[in-house]
Amino acid sequence: MHIHTRFSPCSKIRVRQIPRKIQEACIDGVCITDHNTTASRSLLKDISHVSGLSIIVGLEYAAAQGDFLIFGPVEYIPEGMDAKTLVKWVKKEGGVAIPAHPFRRSRPADPRILPFFDIIEVLNGRNQTYENDLCMQWIETNGNNKKCIGGSDAHTLDEIGRIVTVFDKDIYTSDDLIRELREGDYTVQQRY
């Protein structure tokens, strides 16, 4: 649900490396969420023929209240939106916005905005254990039926698949992902 490629200045992952790594990690797909860009999509056309793998492009949007994973029509998202405006805009456009790594010491999604979102990233592979624990505690106390995802937040190949979101139904497209995020059943697994 949350990996970065070299289109994010902090990542070492090349788009062409992803299919093989997905297979090695025994997962069926990933979501590329580069920082404020969907540029990796242009390279995916050349590797989209890889049978049985799902590679979906979203992005990680930077707002004053933290970072947010965005899935759906993300080719153009206005810059400078605050979290409340962002969630309204994404819903209106038919997408999904998810606060990324709440309670992280560095660049957390501000916990005060969590009630405005239907889905929260509760486990993040680059968080410290106590940061993930704080998020799980918030969900237990304040979650009120919020759905939860997990993501590796991979910046290197070895990080891909450390934390995964397991969906009951197969996902092949961005529309499938959005439908399943909103209505489907899924669980989070830590695999390291």
Q: Which CATH fold would you assign to the domain 61-190? A: TIM Barrel (3.20.20)
Helices (H), 51-99: 83-92
Give the residue-averaged pLDDT of 79-93.
94
Q: Which pLDDT score is estimated for 149?
A: 98
What is the C-alpha to C-alpha distance for residues 73 and 124, in angstroms, rounded to an integer?
24
Point out which residues pair with 68 in neighbouring strands: 61, 99
* Three-state DSSP class for residue 137: helix
Contact yes or no for 162/192 (Cβ under 8 A)? yes
Could you report the per-residue pLDDT of 25-64, keeping only the tens digit for each? Answer: 999 999 999 999 999 988 887 665 566 789 999 999 999 9
Average pLDDT, the chain: 92
Could you report the per-residue pLDDT of 155-167, keeping only the tens digit for each? Answer: 999 999 999 999 9
pLDDT at 75 over 60: yes
Six token digits for residue 125: 């592979």
What is the C-alpha to C-alpha distance for residues 105 and 142, in angstroms, rounded to an integer?
20
- State the pLDDT confidence band at 107, using cuts at 50, 70 and 90: confident
Q: Which pLDDT score is estimated for 109?
A: 87
Q: Which pLDDT score is estimated for 50?
A: 60
pLDDT at 85 over 90: yes
Q: Which pLDDT score is estimated for 51?
A: 60
Domain boundaries, the chain: 61-190
Contact yes or no for 151/163 (Cβ under 8 A)? yes
